[in-house]
Amino acid sequence: MNNKTINGFSKLSKKEKINWLSQTFLKDKPEAEYLLSLYWHQDSARQQRHDEFIENALSNFYLPFAVAPNFKIDDRIFAIPMVIEESSVVAAASNAAKFWLDRGGFKSEIISTVKSGQIHLNYSGAPSNLMRFFTQTKQALIRSVDMLSAGMKKRGGGLIDLDLIDESEALNGYCYIHARFETADAMGANYINSCLETIAATFGAFAETYEGFGPGQQPEVVMSILSNYVPECLVRVWVQCPVSELAQEGLSGKEFADKFIRAVAIAQTNPLRAVTHNKGIMNGVDAVVLATGNDFRAVEAAVHAYACKDGQYRSLSKAKIQNDTFEFSIELPLALGTVGGLTKLHPMVGVALAILEEPTAVELMKIVATAGLAQNFAAVRSLVTTGIQKGHMKMHLLNFLSQNNADEPTKMAAVEHFKNNAISARSVAEFVASYNSNDH
Ligand code: MEV
C-alpha cells in the first residue's frame, strides 16, 4: 500500500487525523497544523456542532460575513447578509441598493414554486402497456406518500401530481415518472427524495404482480432523485425609473440607459460575455444563499441551466426603455429553504435569517434575486462608465497590503497615498517596501 493512503481514517479522533496529515502531507509545514487547530471554535459544544455537519471535519474555514443595507424590496427595507470572499461585491451591492432606494426600490413577483423529481425507468415493452399500468396504479402511487407528506401538507406543501413521460426516442427503452411537489418553506430535497423512493418501491411492487407485462418486460427502476433544475420555481425582480433619473459620470440619462441596454444585449447574444455577466449576478446570489445556509451548488446548477433554456447560454437579466422608463429585470429559478437543512443548525445562518426578519422561502427567493440584480446593475454600470478596475482596485487595496505584510501605520499611509495614485499589485508592493525602508 502507498504510504500516503490510510484505512480507517474516519474512525480516528480529530487530533489523530491532524497528526496523520502532519506526518504524511505537512511534514515541513508546521504552520498548517497549527492553523487547523487555531481555527477551532473556543466553545467545544459549538465546535462539535460544526464538526457534525460533514465527515472527517478537522477545522473551520472562515469566510467574511457582511451586510449590505438599504435594500427596498416591495416597500420593505432589508439589510441583506452576504458571505463572500471577493472584495468590492458588498460595496457594489450597497451602492446599487442606495441608488434604487431613491428611485422606488426593487419590485418582485413569485411566478411559481413547484419543484420536481423523477423516477427513471428502463422499459422495453409496448409504451401503451406501461401507460395503462401507470394510469391504473397512479392513485395508489400518490397515496403511498400520504404518511411521509403529513407534516408537509400541514405547511401547505405536498405531492401535486405524477406523470409518465416516454423518452424512448431519445434513449432506447427510457421513460420516467415525473413528480411535482410544493415544499412550502423547506428547500425540500430530503422530502422529495424520500417520496420518490417510496413511490418507486410501490411502483416496483405493483409491477411485479401486474399481468399485462409480458415475461421479462417489467419496467425496472434505474434511480429516483429530485431535479435541481427548477424552471417552475421562479422569481422575477425588477427596477424601473424615468430615463432622465439615470444621468451620471458625465452621461445623460438617455446616454447611460442606451449604453447599459447595449451591454445587456451583448450578454444576451454572446456567451463569452454572458458567462461573466451572469457570474456578476451570482456574486450577489451566492453570497446570500451561503449566508442563509442554502445549497449554493443546487442554485448554481439550476441558474446556469436556466440561462440556456432556449439552447444558447444567455444573460439572466434584461434591460429596456419603454415610454421613457428604464426597466432592468431578472428571472431566476431558486430552490431555497428557510426551515430544515442548516437553517437551525448553523448559528450564523440563524443570525442571517434574523437580520432578514425570518423570511419565508418565497420572501428569501425575492431577496436573493434582488441581490443578484443589484450586483449585476452595479457591475454593468461600472463597466459602461468608469470601468470595473477603478472601484475594484480601491476595494482590493487592503488585500494587497496584507499580502505585503503591511502593519497598521503602513496601511493608513497607503490608504492616503492611493487616494490619488493607481492601485496595482506592484504599486502597492513598491509603496510598502519604500515606506518601510524610510524607517517610518
Ligand atoms: C467580478 O466578480 C464580476 C464582474 O466581472 C461581472 C461583470 O463583468 O458583469 C465585474
Q: Which tens digit of pLDDT belongs to each residue from 360-382?
A: 999 999 999 999 999 999 999 99
Per-residue confidence band for 388, with pLDDT thresholds at 50, 70 and 90 = confident
Distance 385 CA to ligand 1 centre (A): 14
| pLDDT score of 173 more than 60 | yes
| pLDDT score of 195 more than 90 | yes
Distance 379 CA to ligand 1 centre (A): 6
> How many of the other CB atoms lie within 10 Å of CB of 408?
8
- The mean per-residue pLDDT over the stretch 395-406 comes to 88
208 labelled catalytic: no
Distance 288 CA to ligand 1 centre (A): 17
pLDDT of residue 440: 65
> How many of the other CB atoms lie within 10 Å of CB of 94?
21
Give the separation between CA 184 and CA 192, rounded to whole angstroms.
12
Give the separation between CA 127 and CA 132, rounded to whole angstroms.
9
**pTM, rounded to two decimals:** 0.92
Per-residue confidence band for 37, with pLDDT thresholds at 50, 70 and 90 = confident
Distance 88 CA to ligand 1 centre (A): 10
- Between residues 3 and 198, the one the model is more confident about: 198
- Between residues 402 and 303, the one the model is more confident about: 303
The answer to whether 364 and 338 are in contact (CB under 8 A) is: yes
| pLDDT score of 439 more than 70 | no
| pLDDT score of 3 more than 90 | no
- Residue 420: phi and psi, rounded to 5, are -120, 15
Residue 161: C-alpha distances to residues 47, 190, 228, 420 (Å): 43, 18, 18, 63
- The mean per-residue pLDDT over the stretch 302-329 comes to 98
Please report the atom of ligand 1 found closest to the CA of residue 388. 10
Distance 276 CA to ligand 1 centre (A): 6
Our answer on whether the CB atom of 84 is closer than 6 Å to any ligand 1 atom is no
Our answer on whether the CB atom of 277 is closer than 6 Å to any ligand 1 atom is yes
Out of 86, 259, 264, 283, mutate this one to test ligand 1's pocket (max ligand atoms within 8 Å of CB): namely 283
Give the separation between CA 399 and CA 425, rounded to whole angstroms.
9
- How large a percentage of the chain has pLDDT more than 70? 99
Ligand 1: which residue has its CA nearest to atom 4? Answer: 280
Our answer on whether the CB atom of 280 is closer than 6 Å to any ligand 1 atom is yes
Our answer on whether the CB atom of 341 is closer than 6 Å to any ligand 1 atom is no
Distance 280 CA to ligand 1 centre (A): 4
Our answer on whether the CB atom of 6 is closer than 6 Å to any ligand 1 atom is no
Out of 82, 260, 375, 383, mutate this one to test ligand 1's pocket (max ligand atoms within 8 Å of CB): namely 383
Q: Please report where in the chains the cell 441608488 appears, as a residue.
A: 99
pLDDT of residue 259: 98
295 labelled catalytic: yes
300 labelled catalytic: no
Q: State the catalytic residue, choosing from 41, 279, 394, 417.
A: 279
Q: State the catalytic residue, choosing from 185, 197, 286, 295.
A: 295
Give the separation between CA 130 and CA 138, rounded to whole angstroms.
12
| pLDDT score of 309 more than 80 | yes
Give the separation between CA 284 and CA 369, rounded to whole angstroms.
8
- How large a percentage of the chain has pLDDT more than 90? 88
Per-residue confidence band for 109, with pLDDT thresholds at 50, 70 and 90 = very high
Per-residue confidence band for 407, with pLDDT thresholds at 50, 70 and 90 = very high
Residue 393: C-alpha distances to residues 89, 208, 429 (Å): 12, 66, 14
Distance 63 CA to ligand 1 centre (A): 20
Ligand 1: which residue has its CA nearest to atom 9? Answer: 277
Residue 103, burial from CB neighbour count under 10 angstroms (0-12, 13-18, 19+): middle
Ligand 1: which residue has its CA nearest to atom 2? Answer: 280
For the segment 15-25, what is each residue's pLDDT rounded down to a tens digit? 999 999 999 99
Per-residue confidence band for 1, with pLDDT thresholds at 50, 70 and 90 = low
Mean pLDDT score across all residues of the chain? 95
392 labelled catalytic: yes
Q: What is the 3-state secondary structure (H, E, C) of the chain?
A: CCCCCCCCHHHCCHHHHHHHHHHHCCCCCHHHHHHHHHCCCCCHHHHHHHHCCCCCCCCCCCCCEEEEEEEEECCEEEEEEEECCCCCHHHHHHHHHHHHHCCCCEEEEEEEEEEEEEEEEECCCCHHHHHHHHHHHHHHHHHCCHHHHHHHHHCCCEEEEEEEEECCCCCCCEEEEEEEEECCCECCHHHHHHHHHHHHHHHHHHHHHCCCCCCCCCCEEEEEEECCCCCCEEEEEEEEEEHHHHCECCECHHHHHHHHHHHHHHHHHCHHHHHHHHHHHHHHHHHHHHHCCCCHHHHHHHHHHHHCCCCCCCCCEEEEEECCEEEEEEEEECCCCCECHHHHCCHHHHHHHHHCCCCCHHHHHHHHHHHHHHHHHHHHHHHHCCCHHHHHHHHHHHHHHHHCCCCHHHHHHHHHHCCCCCCCHHHHHHHHHHHHHCCC
Residue 429: C-alpha distances to residues 196, 401, 425, 436, 437 (Å): 57, 8, 6, 11, 12
Give the separation between CA 85 and CA 290, rounded to whole angstroms.
11
For the segment 116-167, what is each residue's pLDDT rounded down to a tens digit? 999 999 999 999 999 999 999 999 999 999 999 999 999 999 999 999 999 9
**Which residue type does 324 have?**
D
Q: Please report where in the chains the cell 475594484 appears, as a residue.
A: 392
